[in-house]
Structure 1
Amino acid sequence: MAGAEGFQYRAVYPFRRERPEDLELLPGDLLVVSRVALQALGVADGGERCPHNVGWMPGFNERTRQRGDFPGTYVEFLGPVALARPGPRPRGPRPLPARPLDGPSESGHTLASLAEQFSPPEPAPPILVKLIEAIEQAELDSECYTGFVRYVY
C-alpha cells in the first residue's frame, strides 16, 4: 500500500442498501477507498488487491457522491488513485451478504406483487383436515360437551 493515498474499485454486482451507512451499488460504479481506512481495518500491503478478503470496506461512490460501506465481495480492484478528500472513518466488523451465484443482475432484489403478498393461505393438507374433523366429531360426541351445550341453551 506504500505510496498510494487510496485505491479504486469497480462494482461487479448490484447491492441494495441494508443499513443507513451502506452504499448502494450498480455494476460499473467506481468506488474509492483510502489507504488509511484499509490500514485501520488491518489490511496489509497488497491486501487491497483482494477486496473479497477485506470484508466491508468504507469508501466513496463516485456516481452517487456518497460515502459509506460496501461489501468487498461485490467489487474488483482497479488500482491506486490520489485522494482529494480525507477517507471515511472505519466501522466495526459485520457479516457479509452472500455473493450472487448467477452473475450480475440488472433488476436487483424484487418484492412479491401485492396479490402474492396478501393472497389467502394455501388449503391445509388433507391429513390435517381429517384430523381436525375427527377432533371436532369427538368433542360433539362427548357427554361433557353435549351437556355443556344443553346447559347453555
Structure 2
Amino acid sequence: MEKVPMTASGEQALKVELELLLKRRPLISQAIAEARELGDLKENAEYHAAREEQGICEAQIRDIEYKLSVAQVIDVSKMDNTGKVIFGTTVTLLDMDTDKEVKYQIVGDDEANIKLGKISVSSPIARGLIGKMDGDEVVISTPGGDKDLEIIAVDYI
C-alpha cells in the first residue's frame, strides 16, 4: 500500500471529523429504530431518509479511516529550517510580473484549499517549487501561462 503525504494539521482535522461521525452513528441508529415503529417501511419517508443518512455516514467513516491508514504524516515544524521548499512548508512568493506577494502552504491532495492558501503537492506551482531554495527565482508553467516567481521566504511551521 502506497503512503500518501499529509500534514500533521491535516491528520488532526481528519481525526476530529471521524470523531464527530462516530458520535453521529448511534443517533442515526436511534432515528432508524424510531422510524421503524411508525409502521409500513415501504412508504415511510423518515425511515428511508435515516437509512440514506446512515449510508452516507458509514461511507464517510470508511473514507476517513482509509485516508488515515495510508497517511504518511510529515510535521515540518520538527525539521531543521534549511530554506529548501519541501512538503508542508509555507512559501512566500513574489510574482515578478505584478509585484504581488502570495503565500502558500504545500499540503496533500485532500487538504488543498486555495482560499486558505493551501495548494496540493501535485499542483503545477508546488511541483515547480519543491526542491528550490529561499531566494531562488522560478518560472512555472500553469494553465494560465508561465509565472515568473521569486521565493521570498520558506517557513517550517
TM range (shorter): under 0.3
Q: Which has the higher strand share?
A: 2
Q: Which has the higher helix share?
A: 2
**Which structure's CA Rg is the greater one?**
1
